[in-house]
Structure 1
Amino acid sequence: MQQLNEILSLIDSYIGGSDWFVALLLLTGLFFTVYLKFPQIRFFKHAIDVVKGKFDEQDDEGDTSHFQALATALSGTVGTGNIAGVALAIHLGGPAALFWMIVTAFFGMTTKFVEVSLSHKYREKTADGTMAGGPMYFMKNKLNMKWMAVLFAIATVLSSFGTGNLPQVNSIASSINATFGLENYITGAVLSVLLAFVILGGISRIASVTEKLVPIMALIYFIGCVAVIFYNFENIPNSIQRIASDIFSGTSATGGFLGASLAYAFNRGVNRGLFSNEAGQGSAPIAHASAKTKEPISEGMVAILEPFIDTIVICSLTGLALLSSNVWREKIENKFQRTDLEVLSIRYDDTKANPNNDRELLAAHISGDKELPTYTGSLNVINGKITNTVSLLHARSLAEDVKVSIDGEAYTGTLNVVKGKVEWKKKMAIRGKSLVHSAPLTSIAFTRSYFGEWGKYIVSIGLLLFAFSTAISWSYYGDRAMTFLLGAKSVIYYRAVYVFAFFVGSFADTTIIWTLSGITIALMTIPNLIGILILRKDMKESLEVYRSHMKDKFGIKI
């Protein structure tokens, strides 16, 4: 598992985790924002009117309403990225990462507008009478680049597992296990059956479920976030100041948090921002292609609202809850994951008063700037405690009060370590105090509220609804891609594999899953962004046609 994660991390570092990928994503959004004269601001009110059905026409062709298409697309984006992804971004990049997530969303509003409009314009009706669309269709029908369309469709199938399937169920199962003590595989088995029931009904049943789930889950989560923020209201000014002051300098060490550079905060903020709202990834256009309208731009208008709701509203609330509760920099008792664990050859001290600048050395090590010597050899363990003069790093922090157990009993014996990596024994667990990340971090933050310990149940319920609805929507994205690649008959086999993977993902290693998701996101995003940049003039002309239509048909100027 460790070797697999290292290979995946290396691949991700050259694509999704690279600086050029972040630049491509942001600069595309910036270009279209300027090129189309800030449509995310100019057309925001009009987008709301379109969702309300104010401009619907009798002869509109499609399978879902504007609101259902928006709900399906939102259910695909509002998921673990909003709960676990924000926590991971702040864990990696500090408070400034939240700012870069919001910046990504602002430009992402325009990117979504463009990709959805173009995908809707070149959609097709399938043999079963339903609509199929997405970037692969404008790549094939307009750009005449079938090879690019095939590449995108393959990446979509892979991403349906790396984005919509595995990380979603893993976060649900981990959260429910932490809250209720229910084994991950039991949660996975129950949800897999429910997932199969929903996705076998096709887009009609999916839209029917998501249009009910999205408002409910948003309300529940909003109440939970507000309860944390107001309970810790005295910390809000300092949290906002911290975000602002760290934007161009990075975050210095504070508490158990060892610091993060500006470059890392920027990269992780943009990367997690994309994972949250999927702007530029090309996934949402697949859902919007089913909407009833003969005006492609009108559906693009609807898409403007997605990054705003998903990231600027929901992720900001999560971020403020995490920062105001201070849990992002506190060491908390937790069960260590082997891929997050590293053994250093000497003992370090991360307290502020340490005269040897150990905090700076550790910070440089976890950021990859200057590596410290790792340990190779045997660790002596007596009654659960490691007696060697070494340091254990877990979740990018110096671990404390470490205890080793096997099958629940304190372990006495030796552990082999090779280049800082512990060779795990069967039924072994290592626990201690360290920083935590992803969904468990948000769960802890929600206990620092008016709800007290009950707050973690809001995260569990919210995560269950958010992530399950994401898995539903991504199954639809995957089956549309399979239809494009191999025809409608291949969909049933895809769905079977999708449901099985959903079960397996409930107990797989989370670190590997998050790394995999970064790779699959990039594989979709790159060809999609190239495609919409090539079609920039087509987009601008389509917008002018739409504006003329609205003036002639409805007498309004937008």
Structure 2
Amino acid sequence: MLEMLNDFLSGKLLIVLIVGLGSYFTIRSRFVQFRHFGHMFSVFKQSLRSSGGQLSSFQALMLSLAGRVGAGNIAGVGIAVTLGGPGAVFWMWVTALVGMSSSFFECSLAQLYKRADGDGLYRGGPAYYIQHGLKLRWMAMVFAVLLLVTYGFAFNGLQSFTVTHSLQNAFGFPVQYTGIGLAVLLGLVFIGGIKRIASVSDLLVPVKTLAYIGVTLYVIFTQIDLVPGMLVTIVKSAFGLEPAFAGLLGSAIVMGVKRGVFANEAGLGSAPNVAAVASVQHPVAQGVVQAFSVFLDTFVICTCTALLILLSGFYTPGFEGDGIVLTQNSLAAVVGDWGRIFVSVALSLFVFTCILYNYYLGENALQFLLGKSRAALLTYRGLVLALICWGSMQNLSTVFAFADITMTCLAFVNLVALALLIKVGLRVMRDYDEQRKAGIATPVFDARKFADLDLDRDAWPTAPQAQASSEAIDGRLATSHR
């Protein structure tokens, strides 16, 4: 029953919602992900600046990449290619293109409706913009519960199982001791709160990402003469025009979209929770940065994994095995046995940062539901660590199937909320675009122009310097219009 329900929800309904509403957001925004593509790199450069004790835009980006860049980029791509053939990669690209607009709006709205938590930091996400944007407290609570169950508990147990068994296969480490060691390391990070989680992500995410991209690019460049032909095969297979993969057309679309969604998480409602913590001048700036992270996740990292598999010579149509084994063996076929060890170590880093990300999503949902309860927070941390130890020794396939269903429900609630708030999102986007058109390199958000919205004045204060900047911007806009 779980399998049938999961197949309908995540294999059909979610695909229609993600692609359909992503396309709708793309058209309504006048293809924002294409218009701002070059601008993404300059905003990313600006995000490196310090925020005076608050979390910077770059730290929020690294924290979101901690979740986006995970096992899905290794195992997920392997599964997509195994079941859907090379054409699945093309449909992953399509999903990412429309998903960039969904991520843009959900993260911009998370910034717009964020709340100051009284400790100099911010909280936000879909639960917050549902409550304060749509005035639907019950719907916001449903989202928060689904987020807590899916990411805070279920996915953390699954990630623990994945990494401990990968290390056992590569090095022979007993899973029970690996699970305990993992729980201890994570506990040391958890007790430092969001700042320590962000600091660790700052360190590990660039290291794991660059190391993985570097090794896969080495494999690709050693066979660069085969890359153009493989790219043609990917496109032709996506439309059933490649004879060897013609029978996989339906699977290519389904697996490409499904694995693409789960790899980059655009539209699922998870990334906005970490996008909201950043201190930025304008909500849209974080939306642009997070759209860039979808591009990086799918077009760079997932594509590197796909080309690694397809160029290795190990993969053949009808391959039977899991995604991790396929990726490990593909790398080993080119560089030798150390390739299997490298994939295992890379997966361990990916999973470690993913658990940090999942933990914070659950903590954010918990605070939304119960407020700043120290007892509730400590209980939550204890349960997560216990689940990590237990999950390291258990096959949680049934739990994962249940989590897939709750995550699809999570995405459904979030996408409906985005559709209902699209006018607000477009309004904030136009404010940003008008300032850039007037020649303002770093647009500034003026909360007075949005006095009709339920915004937190502590999160978006109209300080004297902000008011002066706003007046200067108004002058430039008036000159521009004339």
Shared fold per TM-score greater than 0.5: yes
1:460 is the counterpart of 2:344: yes
Offset, 1:170:
2.4
| Residue 378 of structure 2, aligned match among 479, 486, 492 | 492
Matched, 1:182 2:66: no
Q: Which residue of 1 aligns with 2:182?
A: 191
The 8 Å contact of residues 240 and 247 in structure 2, kept in 1 or not, is answered as no
Aligned-partner residue type, residue 406 of structure 2: T
Select between 124-133 and 507-516 the one with higher mean Cα deviation: 507-516
Match of 2:424 in 1: 538
Aligned counterparts, 1:79-118, within 5 A: 79-118=70-109
Distance in structure 2 (CA, Å) of the matches to 1:104 and 1:539:
21
Work out whether residues 139 and 146 of structure 1, in 8 Å CA contact, stay in contact via their aligned partners in 2.
yes
Q: Which whole-Å CA distance do the structure 2 matches of 1:456 and 1:520 have between them?
A: 33
> CA 1:552–1:61 in 2, change beyond 3 Å: closer, same or farther?
farther
The 1:555–1:228 alpha-carbon spacing in structure 2 relative to 1, beyond 3 Å, is closer
Following superposition of structure 1 onto structure 2, how do residues 415-426 of structure 1 map, counting pairs within 5 Å? none
Question: 1:539-558 residue pairs with structure 2 within 5 A?
Answer: 539-550=425-436, 554=440
Consecutive unaligned residues of structure 2, counting only runs of 5 or more, are 444-476, 478-482
CA gap of 1:55–1:496, structure 2 versus 1, over 3 A, is closer
Q: Which moved more, 1:117-126 or 1:502-511?
A: 502-511
What aligned pairs does 1:393-408 form with structure 2 within 5 A after superposition? none
Match of 1:415 in 2: none
Paired residue for 1:435? 320
Name the counterpart of 1:446. Answer: 331
2:20 corresponds in structure 1 to 27
Which residue pairs with 1:523 in the alignment? Answer: 409
Cα distance change, pair 498–234 in 1 and its aligned pair in 2 (3 A): same
Matched residues in 2 for 1:462 and 1:228: separation? Answer: 16
Match of 2:3 among 3, 9, 12: 9
1:296 to 258, 273, 283: 283
Q: Which residue of 2 aligns with 1:273?
A: 260
Once the two structures are TM-superposed, the CA of residue 552 in structure 1 deviates from its matched residue by: 6.0
Query: Computing the radius of gyration over CA atoms, which structure comes out larger, 1 or 2?
Result: 1
String of CA shifts for 1:13-43, please: whole Å, max 9, x gaps. Answer: 231122x321111011111111111111211
Of residues 505, 509, 527, the one that matches 2:391 is 505
Letter in 2 for 1:508: Q
Q: 1:21 to 1:251 in 2, by over 3 A?
A: farther
The separation in 1 between residues aligned to 2:327 and 2:402, in whole angstroms, is: 22
Amino acid at match of 2:347: L
Paired residues for 1:90-239 under 5 Å: 90-161=81-152, 164-233=155-224, 235-239=226-230
Consecutive unaligned residues of structure 1, counting only runs of 5 or more, are 1-6, 331-396, 398-433
Measure, in 1, the Cα distance between the counterparts of 2:154 and 2:316.
27
Whether 1:52 and 2:45 are equivalent positions in the alignment is yes
How far residue 436 of structure 1 moved from its aligned partner, in angstroms, is 1.2
SS at match of 1:554: coil
**Aligned-residue offset at 1:128:** 4.2
Q: Is residue 162–residue 516 contact of structure 1 (8 Å, CA) maintained in 2?
A: no
Structure 1 residues 42 and 164, CA, compared in 2 at 3 Å: closer, same or farther? farther
- Give the conservation status (yes or no) of the 8 Å contact 1:84–1:171: no
Matched-pair contact (CA < 8 Å) for 1:123–1:132? yes
Equivalent of 1:308 in 290, 295, 311 = 295
Displacement of 1:498: 1.3
Q: Give the distance between the partners of 2:76 and 2:53, measured in 1 at CA.
A: 33
Name the CA shift for 1:234/1:534 in 2 (closer, same or farther; >3 Å).
same
Higher helix share: 2
Residues 201-237 of structure 1: per-residue CA shift (max 9 Å, x gap): 1110011110111111112101221233244556545
Query: For each residue in 1:289-328, what CA deviation from the matched residue of structure 2 results, as whole angstroms up to 9, or x when unmatched?
Result: 1101241111111111111111110000001111112333
Does 2:209 correspond to 1:324? Answer: no
* 1:251 to partner: Cα distance: 7.7
Distance 1:245 1:55, change over 3 A: closer
Cα drift, residue 54 of structure 1: 7.1
User: How far apart in 2 are the matches of 1:508 and 1:260?
Assistant: 36
2:153 & 2:10 partners in 1: Cα distance? 13
Question: Once the two structures are superposed, what CA deviation does each residue of 1:321-344 show, in whole Å capped at 9, x if it has no partner?
Answer: 1111233338xxxxxxxxxxxxxx
Q: Aligned letter for 1:435?
A: E
Query: Is the contact between residue 162 and residue 517 of structure 1 (CA under 8 Å) also seen in structure 2?
Result: no
One-letter amino acid of the counterpart of residue 333, structure 2: R
Displacement after TM superposition at 1:553 (Å): 8.1
1:159 maps to a residue whose letter is T
Structure 2 length-normalised TM = 0.85
Partner amino acid, structure 2, of 1:521: M
Distance 1:33 1:250 in 2: 28
Does the C-alpha gap of structure 1 residues 522 and 132 become closer, same or farther in structure 2, counting only changes over 3 Å?
Answer: same
The total of aligned residue pairs comes to: 442
- TM score, norm. by length of structure 1: 0.74
Residues of 1 paired with 2:25 and 2:386: CA distance? 40
State the distance in 1 between where 2:103 and 2:224 align. Answer: 34
AA at the equivalent of 2:3: S
Cα distance, 1:326–1:510 mapped onto 2, change above 3 Å? farther
For residues 279 and 149 of structure 2, the distance between their equivalents in structure 1, rounded to whole angstroms, comes to: 28
Deviations along 1:121-177, one digit per CA (max 9) or x if unpaired, are: 011122544311001111000101111111111111122157741332222222212
Structure 2 Cα separation of the partners of residues 31 and 329 of structure 1:
37
1:11 is aligned with what amino acid?
L
Look up the SS of the partner of 1:52 in the other structure: helix
Cα distance in 1 for residues equivalent to 2:436 and 2:320: 54
Query: Residues of 2 paired with 1:195 and 1:157: CA distance?
Result: 18
For the Cα contact (< 8 Å) 1:119–1:133, is it kept in 2? yes
Task: Provide the C-alpha distance between the structure 2 equivalents of 1:260 and 1:202, rounded to a whole number of angstroms.
Answer: 50
- In 1, distance between residues paired with 2:157 and 2:320? 23
- Relative distance call for 1:555 and 1:49 in structure 2 (3 A) is closer
1:286 aligns with 2:172: no
* CA distance, structure 1, for counterparts of residue 326 and residue 165 of structure 2: 12
Match for residue 350 of structure 1? none
Does residue 32 of structure 2 align to residue 39 of structure 1? Answer: yes
SS in 2 for 1:488: coil
